[in-house]
Amino acid sequence: MANNSSIGIFDSGVGGISVWKEIVALLPNESIIYYADSKNCPYGPKTDGEIIELSRKVVDFLISKDCKIIVVACNTATAAAISTLRKEYKIPFVGLEPAVKPAALNSKTNKIGILATEGTLRGNHFKRTSETYAKNTEVNVQVGYGLVELVENNDINSENTLKVVEKCIKPLIDKNIDQLVLGCTHYPFLCDAIKEVSGSHNINIINPAPAVASRTFDLLKKNRKNDKNIFYHFYSSGNINQLKNTVKLIKNIDTNKYKFISSRN
Ligand code: DGL
């Protein structure tokens, strides 16, 4: 692992920018290459085999760009592919999974809600984590139908967005949950809409992205880069403007270091 190499981050699309943001905040002296596989988004309804195949392609690309660590900023790709990737590549991987443990620990009603994609919810990892950390907690799951598409299209605060979000959140609110886990990296971009819909119900929203940034920080150890000469490159296999618009939602970042590139990978 060479100190001056970059951190690679990928997601099925623009959602992993919610993780990129936390890594930038914690590791400001690191160059980062972000890859949005928006052409193949959403991953959620795809088979594990398809997701593994797509993830391999992106990992090969990031390694060809001299990345020293890869953050799989996608719960769905983590669930389907990370164990295979770890076997096949030497590079260290950081994955994402729904934050069941903190939700169960924080819950006063002993009822938590997990909003995620089909792929994440059917994964063995999620089942195992729920069995281990939420033994005495009612775990209510809900697929976020249509939410990834809203974020990909930068449609995060329209009337229609509120309706789609309400449809997903209402069944969980009706179960009297007091913790809502955002089990997909696209969902933090819908936080305002989620808060508006869940308003009076006093529900704590849990986004695992800061914990993923800490894990990346720890794994890099002595291999952290230590100068100010850094860059942020953003690649998309789909519409590069969607990625650009998503990055623009993050405030207080020096845009001179940005470069957006359409990928034909
Ligand atoms: N951001 C991905 C995740 O965290 C989105 C999944 C999808 O493409 O369906 O699961």
129 Cβ inside 6 Å of ligand 1:
no
Q: Supply the DSSP symbol for 207.
A: -
Domain boundaries for CATH 3.40.50.1860 within the chain: 6-96+210-262, 100-207
CA 234 – CA 259 distance, rounded (Å): 6
With the most atoms of ligand 1 within 8 angstroms of its CB, the residue from 37, 51, 75 to mutate is: 75
Cα separation of 219 and 11, whole Å?
20
Top CATH class of 100-207 equals: alpha beta
Q: What is the pLDDT of residue 257?
A: 74
Tokens of 21: 């943001």
Q: With a 6 A CB cut-off, is 43 part of the ligand 1 pocket?
A: yes
Distance CA 88, CA 161 (A): 40
Confirm if 9 and 71 have CB atoms less than 8 A apart: yes
For every one of its 265 residues, what pLDDT tens digit does the chain have, with 9 covering 90 and above?
667 799 999 999 999 999 999 999 999 999 999 999 999 999 999 999 999 999 999 999 999 999 999 999 999 999 999 999 999 999 999 999 899 999 999 999 999 999 999 999 998 889 999 999 999 999 999 999 999 999 999 999 999 999 999 999 999 999 999 999 999 999 999 999 999 999 888 899 999 999 999 999 999 987 777 777 889 999 999 999 999 999 999 877 767 778 999 987 7
| Catalytic site positions | 74, 184
Q: Is 154 in the pocket of ligand 1 (CB under 6 A)?
A: no
Query: Which pLDDT belongs to residue 219?
Result: 94
Looking at residue 181, what is its pLDDT? 97
pLDDT at 2: 67
Q: Residue 64 corresponds to which tokens in the numbers above?
A: 């060809």
CB of 216 closer than 6 angstroms to any ligand 1 atom: no
What is the 231 CA–ligand 1 centroid distance (Å)?
25
Using the mean position of ligand 1's atoms as its centre, give its distance from the Cα of residue 185 in Å. 6
Residue 191 Cα to ligand 1 middle (Å): 16
143 CA from centroid of ligand 1 (Å): 11
Closest CA to 230 of 258, 209, 260: 258
- Alpha-carbon span 206 to 221, nearest angstrom: 26
Pocket of ligand 1 contains residue 98 by CB under 6 Å: no
Q: Which atom of ligand 1 is nearest to the CA of 184?
A: 4
Which amino acid residue places its CA nearest to atom 2 of ligand 1? 74
Give the CATH fold of the 6-96+210-262 domain: Rossmann fold (3.40.50)
Phi and psi at residue 104, to the nearest 5°:
-65, -40
State which H helix or E strand residue 64 sits in: helix 48-64
pLDDT at site 1 = 65
Residue 115's beta-bridge partner residues? 142, 182
The three-state secondary structure class of 98 is coil
pLDDT attached to residue 223? 75
Report whether residue 123 contacts ligand 1, using a CB cutoff of 6 Å. no
